[in-house]
């Protein structure tokens, strides 16, 4: 029996895939649990239409992410913090501070999307990747300098 998957199923396929399974498996498990629908002409056309809509939506998200990426990469965040003699900071720069700097610049990014492995604890220049929707990754330039006291 041919079916169209509505959910990702391990060992069978992904959403939108048209697969052939035994009739009992489809009738008794997949269709009642709404994991799949019968692959008739109406359902096939409907699934193709939904795929086209999702592709358009993904394209639009990708374009918006590219615009945000350009704004992030044009920005340079500078932090002036107290540091010891070897350039080690008293404290650190975390994703929370980076998110606040981006918000001050008018760029709203979830701080969980800022890919900082561990907080910055030394003086210097850093490049921090920021994940954006649509698989776009922007690079934020961060500069940490010592304050003048």
Q: Which domains does the chain have, with CATH numbers?
A: 2-61 (3.40.5.10), 65-146 (3.10.430.100)
Q: Is the pLDDT of residue 131 over 80?
A: yes
Rg (CA), the chain: 24
Cα separation, 50 vs 97, whole angstroms:
40
Q: What is the mean pLDDT of the chain?
A: 90
- 87-110 residues labelled b (16+ CB within 10 A) or e (exposed): eebeebbebebbbebbeeeebebe
Mean pLDDT for 18-29 is 94
Mean pLDDT for 56-60 is 91
| Percentage of the chain exceeding pLDDT 90 | 62
pLDDT digits (tens, 9 = 90+) for 71-124: 999 999 999 999 888 888 888 999 999 999 999 989 888 889 999 989 999 999
């Amino acid at each position: 029996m041919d079916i169209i998957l509505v959910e990702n199923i391990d060992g069978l396929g992904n959403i939108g895939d048209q697969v052939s399974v035994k009739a009992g498996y489809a009738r008794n498990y997949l269709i009642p649990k709404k994991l799949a629908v019968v692959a008739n002409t109406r359902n096939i056309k409907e699934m193709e239409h939904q795929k086209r809509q999702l592709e358009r939506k993904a394209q639009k998200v990708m374009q918006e992410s590219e615009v945000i990426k350009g704004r992030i990469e044009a920005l340079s965040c500078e932090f002036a913090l107290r540091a010891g003699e070897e350039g080690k900071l008293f404290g650190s720069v975390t994703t929370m501070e980076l998110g606040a700097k981006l918000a001050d610049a008018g760029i709203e990014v979830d701080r969980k999307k800022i890919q900082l492995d561990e907080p910055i604890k030394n003086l210097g220049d850093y490049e921090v990747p920021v994940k954006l929707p649509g698989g776009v990754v922007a690079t934020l330039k961060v500069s940490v300098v010592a304050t003048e006291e």
